Structures are given as structure tokens and as C-alpha cells.
Amino acid sequence: MDFFREMWVITRKDLRAELRTKEAINASLAFSLVILVLFSFAFDPTEKETVSMSGGLLWIVFAFAGTLVLNRSFAREVPNDCLDALVAAPISGAALFMGKALANFLLVLAVELVSLPVFGIFYNVHWTSHFWSLMLVLALGTWGLTVIGTIFSALTVNIRLRELMAPLLVYPMLIPALMSAMQLSMDLIAGKPLGGENQIWLRLLVAFDVIFTALSLVLLETVLVG
């Protein structure tokens, strides 16, 4: 079986299991919406203040909400020892990782795509002026979050306090990606296009995604089997 078919089998399985229970996505979506709404009431920022804090606010919400999905990624394999069956199956660790990462990416992205219009409405921000550029930044930032979250979900799967440990490990690693995504999102919402001054942040985000995806693909087998 080729790499992409193996990957897709894992992605479909994870999406199907999650959409049946909706454990992680419901929690993530509810968290994301509640935080956005609470912040809007708590601070009541002006339009200018909203634009300057938009990147930070959005990505902090996405990072925390995303962790709720990512924590479940390998934890889902623990009941019934399903992880043993996956490790025993004749598929590569890379395909297993990419399959899980893609499922997580789609779930986290879905939460973000629901949260963005809510952000626009509650903060009275016109966020669609550079819509496709913002979607690109959203995809790149979410992939970085997903890759780090998925590999650390695998690393902490057998730890008793994994729900606590995974975020503690994930957030420090994510700092370069989050900083890039925050800066780029803020610029795009403020009406500045991609390129010029913010190109360095875009490059940093792409480099982060490429490096950590490559590292995770190589390391997953070691993480799971030793």
C-alpha cells in the first residue's frame, strides 16, 4: 500500500471516530467561542485596539482550543490498546503520523473557520480584506500547531498526566510559529498585504512547518517503539 493510501486510511478513521463522539471538537469549539465572547465583553476595545490585538487574541484562542483536539489524537488509541494494533500494522510511522496530523489539521481548521466570523461580529472587525492571504496564514499556522501537537501527543501518550504535560511541552515549542502567525494575521486584518516588511514572518512560518514536519516524520517510529 502506498504512503498516501495508508495516510488516508488513518485520517478517515480518526475523523470518523471524532465525528461520532464529537468529544474534542465540541470542547474545542465551545472553548474558542466562549473566550472570544468573554474577551469582547470584558475589554470592549476600540476598533484600532482590536486590530492591534487581533493576531494575538486569535492565535492564543486557536492554540488553546487546538490543544484540546491535539491532546486526544493519540490518547484516543489508549482505551482497548488500539495503539498496539496500529504499531503492529504494516504501515510506516511516517504515514501514521501524517494521517493523524491531517485529521487534526482538518478538525482544528474547522474550529478556526467557525471562530473567525464570530470574532468579526463581536469585535466589529472587517477581517476579509485580504481573505485568501489570511487563509494561507491560517493554514500555515494551523499546520505548525498540528505537527507539534501531534508529535507531543504521541510522546506523552503513556504518561499519566498527559493532558497537563502535552500543553507544557507544546507551547514553548510553538513560540516561533505563533509569533509569525500573530504578526501576519494582525497585518492582514489591518489591511497590509503579505510581502515587504512581513515577508520574514512568512518565511519563518514556512520554515517552521517544513522543519518540524520533517523531524516528526523521522522521529515518530522512535517515539512509539523506542
Partner 1 sequence: MTAVAAEGVWKYYGDYPALRDVMLRAEPGTCLALIGRNGAGKTTLLRIIGGFSKAGRGQVRIFGNDPRETQTRRRLGWIGHGISVYDELSAFENLSLFGRLYDLPDPRKAAMEWLERTGLERVKDGLVREFSRGMRQRLAVARAFLHQPSVLLLDEPFTALDDRAIAVLQRLLRDALAEGRTVVMSTHQLREALELATHVALLNRGKTAFQGERTAQMVQDPGWVYAHYGED
Q: Would you count residue 195 as binding partner 1 (CB under 8 A)?
A: no
CB closer to partner 1, 85 vs 207: 85
Pick one of 4, 21, 175, 207: the residue that binds partner 1 (CB under 8 A): 21
Q: Would you count residue 91 as binding partner 1 (CB under 8 A)?
A: yes
Q: Would you count residue 15 as binding partner 1 (CB under 8 A)?
A: no
Indicate the SS3 state at residue 57: helix
- Specify the amino acid at residue 126: H
Angle at which helix 131-155 crosses helix 47-75, to 10 degrees, equals 40
CB closer to partner 1, 44 vs 81: 81
**3, three cell numbers:** 504512503
CB closer to partner 1, 3 vs 132: 3
| Distance of alpha carbon 175 from the chain centroid | 13
Size of the site for partner 1 (CB under 8 A): 25
Torsion of CA 137, 115, 154, 16, to 10 degrees: -110
Rounded to the nearest whole angstrom, what is the least distance from the CB of residue 145 to partner 1 in the complex?
24
Query: What stretches of 76-161 show up as alpha helix (H) in DSSP?
Result: 82-88, 93-123, 131-155
Q: Would you count residue 92 as binding partner 1 (CB under 8 A)?
A: yes
Q: Would you count residue 88 as binding partner 1 (CB under 8 A)?
A: yes
CB closer to partner 1, 129 vs 158: 158
Q: Would you count residue 159 as binding partner 1 (CB under 8 A)?
A: no
Q: Would you count residue 106 as binding partner 1 (CB under 8 A)?
A: no
- Judged by CB under 8 A, the stretch of 61-69, 83-91, 119-127, 162-170 that binds partner 1 is 83-91
Pick one of 9, 53, 173, 219: the residue that binds partner 1 (CB under 8 A): 9
194 secondary structure, DSSP code = S
What percent of the chain is helix, strand and coil (3-state, nearest 5)? 85, 0, 15
Count helices and strands in the chain by DSSP H and E runs: 8, 0
195 secondary structure, DSSP code = S
Q: Would you count residue 90 as binding partner 1 (CB under 8 A)?
A: yes
Distance, CA of 101 to CA of 86 (rounded, Å): 15
Q: Which residues bind partner 1 (CB under 8 A)?
A: 1, 5-6, 9, 13, 16-17, 20-21, 79-82, 84-92, 221, 225-226
